[in-house]
Amino acid sequence: MRERNTFFSGKRVVGSILFLLVAGIYGMTGAPAQSDERKNQLDYDLDVPRDEVICFALYTVNDNILKLTAQLYPLKEGEDRTLRLEIKEGGEWTEIARTEVIEVGWTAPFRVENWDDTKQVPYRVNHADKAFYEGTIRKNPVDKEEIVVAGFTGNSILQPHGGTLPKTDIVDNIKKIDVDLLFFSGDQVYDHNRHYQAWLNFGRDFGEIIKDRPTITIPDDHDVGQPNLWGQNGRKSFVPEGHDGGYYKPVDYVKEVERAQTSHLPDPYDPTPIERGIGVYYTDLNWGRISFAILEDRKFKTGPEAVVPPMGPRPDHITDPNYDPKSVDVPEARLLGERQLKFLDDWGQDWTDADFKVALSQTIFCGGAHIHGKLGGRLHADLDSNGWPQTGRRKAIIALRKAFALHFAGDQHLATIFHHGVNEWRDGNISFCVPSIANLYLRWWEPLEEGKNRAPGDPPYLGDHVDGFDNLVTCYAVANPTKEPANGDKLTTRAAGFGIVRLNKATRKITLECWPRNVDITDPSAEQYPGWPRTIGQTDNYGRKPIAYLPTLKISGQTDSVVQVVDESTGEVAYTLRINGTEFQPKVFEKGAYTIHIGEGANKKTLSSIEARSLVEDSVIEVEF
């Protein structure tokens, strides 16, 4: 991320001058300095009536465990620090859990095991029998044919020029289509010094839809008080920009942010803290038979300053088009880290109660923009993007494609659909980056060369390209801002909006939607950004061309079996997939012998030494359960 919101205090004029100087150095002048009027509009009122001290609540349900975090306004001296969670049964409220308020950040996390997710249940959070916050714990929509997920990023509260920005159009649209899951991919908060106060504002904006449906929130750089974040396993950063790697804010500040935004998520895959006792939250969530991997793609990533020599006006921006991309792919640079790669490997092989795999993270695995901040601000490569380091990016794509996983993310301020390549174009999975809720800092995808292998009629910026790190990417759609974006509330010219993903379990089709702000998406005349909607198949997320095929599996006694293909020469899992129906012909990428596992748990069969010889394989293996 580049755009900063700086909340001035003290000597406003001196602060403004310093901000503009820094903004000029770092290419951030797209975010205007604040006037006294705008500063006052950003003051947060924390003194509320005592029957309103519960601001909002976030929850998820996974593996029959309900986790809910209530967010409070500050409690006063002498007020009770205990909260109760109640559900409504037979017209009566019954207490099912209680917890103590954590005063640093004023959060109250609940955990309820043995939760029955087969029914919808009204709940309320109760403080001192005076304040009540009510919502609905939804039933797990396992029987729904189509699961709908809404994605958001970049929740700036300001309009481009003055005034706070309402979110009522987004809330109204989400309620109209009644999505099953909400995903906020980062930058829910842009106040670098007052996360708590700005987090309350986030809850006031979106609480109406959050209270009644499971919600995933993951913090990004601005949430933890940095314009960019390379977490580097939790080390301390010594510069506010963070390009030396690590966290600049105090550890307690970082912990408060992560507790507020992630304590309601399912338990971490491996809860071992990183350096300085900072926690982790990467995990998975199964909802509606969709298996979501929740990643922390900033937490382990290496900062560029110590490993890459400067090649531009700042450590993370490369402006020399003649640089050698291989020179920055240094062995010591990490992206997801070994811990998360192990998690992805295990997650990709476990299809229990899952028909689809979707990875959720802060941003996508490529350099997805060429122009930053304003027209003329062309970069050749952006080390803040997850196109770098290339080796780490390749490992991430390989892990995701083995699970045929769609990647759903944000951060870039620019909506895109990319098909990622590792050794060839389109041999990886597909990513959907959603647009910012309010796009103050603009980006454009505007390659200098025309894309190859475009569909007839596609503009030249689509098709096969390489990004600034020589990663292979195919652009299917992009929502660029207009060349001279309008100010005020004309957010469509700034390409603001949100994304919708529809996963159809019957057809195994995925429909990606990208909606602008201030439209009624149920109106037949409402239009999405050009290039959307786009429908892809589940297996498009492993686009690698086969070298050979194995015999066709015809399965009886079991439908939609899990099929895993293992290369016997290496012992490596080629991929794992829950097939659609009773017939499947596995593709493979090397000739030789393979083991095929069919089914799951105790109801599983294994075929060994199955030979892959050519692209033409007409034989059939009958598998009976």
Q: Which residue carries 């939250």 as its tokens?
A: 281
Structure-token pair, residue 305: 């300053």
The pLDDT of residue 196: 97
Question: Over the stretch 81-110, which tens digit does the pLDDT of each residue have?
Answer: 999 999 999 999 999 999 999 999 999 999
The pLDDT of residue 84: 98
Please determine, for residue 15, whether its predicted confidence score (pLDDT) is greater than 70: no
Q: How many CB atoms lie within 10 A of CB 527?
A: 12
Contact partners, residue 516, CB within 8 Å, separation at least 6 = 491, 492, 495, 496, 497, 528, 529
Look up the pTM and report it.
0.92
> Which of 238-242, 446-450, 482-486, 492-496 has the weakest average pLDDT?
482-486
Contact partners, residue 530, CB within 8 Å, separation at least 6 = 477, 479
The pLDDT of residue 33: 31
Burial string for 220-239 (b: 16+ CB within 10 Å, else e) reads bbbbbbbbbbbbbbbbebee
Q: List the chain domain ranges.
A: 50-137, 146-541, 548-624
Please determine, for residue 446, whether its predicted confidence score (pLDDT) is greater than 70: yes
pLDDT above 90 covers what percent of the chain?
86
Please determine, for residue 465, whether its predicted confidence score (pLDDT) is greater than 80: yes
Pick the closest to residue 449 from 433, 476, 467 (CA basis).
467
CATH of domain 548-624: 2.60.40.10
Distance CA 625, CA 622 (A): 10
The answer to whether domain 50-137 and domain 548-624 are alike in fold is yes
Question: Over the stretch 415-434, which tens digit does the pLDDT of each residue have?
Answer: 999 999 999 999 999 999 99
Give the pLDDT band (50/70/90) at residue 158. Answer: low
Exposure of 607 by Cβ count < 10 A (0-12 exposed, 13-18 middle, 19+ buried)? middle
The pLDDT of residue 490: 67
- Give the per-residue SS3 of 488-533: CCCHHHHCCEEEEEEEECCCCEEEEEEEECCCCCCCCCCCCCCCCC
CATH of domain 50-137: 2.60.40.10
CATH of domain 146-541: 3.60.21.70
